[in-house]
Amino acid sequence: MFTDDAGKGGISAGGPGNSAESNRRSGGDLLQLITPGGERVSHPEFDPWVQDVSDDQLGSLYEDMVVIRRIDTEATALQRQGELALWPPLLGQEASQIGSARALRDDDFVFPSYRDNGVAYCRGVNPEDLVKAWRGNALAGWDPYTVNVATQQIIIGAQTLHATGYAMGIQNDGADSVAVAYFGDGATSEGDVNEALVFAASFQSPVVFFCQNNHWAISEPVRLQSHIQIADRAAGFGIPSMRVDGNDVLAVMAATRIATDRARRGGGPTFIEAVTYRMGPHTTADDPTKYRDANELEDWAAKDPIARLKSLLDRKGLLTAERETAVAAKADAVAKALRSGTINMPEPAPMDIFKHVYSTPHSPLDRQQDHYSRYLASFGDPAEAASEEGAR
């Protein structure tokens, strides 16, 4: 569960990860608070971190996961219908994203990968803004500083360096906010991630490395790229780690709260491995049936994060027919807004390519803009040209 081989847990006495037993324990153990069958299991070290989660909040977490799965399904359909160039599904990873994102403060800053649309949704990104880049209408779908979420990173693992640098800035400012870097298991094989871990450990920066181990880096299985648990790698950098059931929204929330609390109090970075599963393709350009055993998918489908929380709510008598209807209606309304916003999205103007490149005046870019403007003008009025062509 909590691994701190470096002896720098930073957790208050008696807290999670501070006992002698947990300091000796391998990251191979999974923190779990809700079983796949929907049974709430007690854990004396981690229960205190989610004891404030009310029945109503459990219902809200369920709604979040249902909504983001509906967004994912609608975006996949839009891509298949030619409205998006590509889409990276998150099917099966809803608990990892919702549980962690809902554990953050508004002033924390998130550095996501291209698949972390559930995190962006929780931070307030509009559904249609999630698809702007995938439709080719913008380099980024939102202003990072309005929601404290950086633009989604396509270059594998690069966002971990950005998060570490931002966390060092937090230290310089004397603030107690936290930077959170989201990435997949495949990214841990990239140099950028390892460099980020080195810097974060050296400067004890307030950054949380949140790895969603979904078992597949495109067609490469995790067992090929790592012969130990991914969480155990962090000890080599002097960074404590936790390995949690990534399909358990409460366990993920507890782990994230522990890590952010540690960072806020000057304890430095934490590495979280959320063990989950990508039930869909890597992207809509991928066919997982060519490299993945159907039995494996069936096994993980039985651990579905939404079904798990639904079972818990049923056990507690909280998921009434009215509540389910309301959740489904919310999901459909969000999907409808996404579809409408995508299809009716205004096309960017040719000169928009020069926007948001530099934050200050830049003379070489100004020259390029002037040259391109005059080049476009050489064609005359496009509408008039089209009219003349039609007349001929």
Residues known to be catalytic: 278, 282, 291
Q: Do residues 207 and 167 make contact, with C-beta atoms less than 8 angstroms apart? A: yes
Q: Are strands 207-213 and 2-3 parallel, antiparallel or unpaired?
A: unpaired
Q: What is the C-alpha separation between 123 and 263, in angstroms, rounded?
A: 20
* Contact between residue 210 and residue 239 where contact means Cβ atoms under 8 Å apart: no
In our burial notation (b when 16+ CB lie closer than 10 A, e otherwise), range 71-82 reads: bbebbbebbeee
- Angle formed at CA 74 by CA 72 and CA 77, multiple of 5 degrees: 110
* Alpha-helical runs (H) found in the chain: 20-24, 55-80, 94-101, 117-122, 132-135, 144-147, 158-173, 191-203, 222-225, 230-233, 249-264, 294-301, 305-315, 321-343, 363-377, 382-391
Amino acid at 120: A
What is the bridge-based pairing of β-strands 2-3 and 241-245?
antiparallel
Alpha-carbon distance of 165 to 159, in angstroms, equals 10
Report the alpha-carbon distance of residue 18 to residue 20 in Å, rounded. Answer: 7
Q: How many residues are recorded in the chain? A: 392
Phi, psi of 61 (to 5 degrees): -65, -40
Decide: 316 and 38 in contact? Cβ < 8 Å.
no
Instruction: Report the SS3 class of residue 241.
Output: strand
Cα(114)–Cα(70) distance, integer angstroms:
18
Q: Which of 67, 115, 385, 65 is nearest to 249 (CA)?
A: 65
C-alpha to C-alpha distance for 247 and 95, rounded to whole angstroms: 5
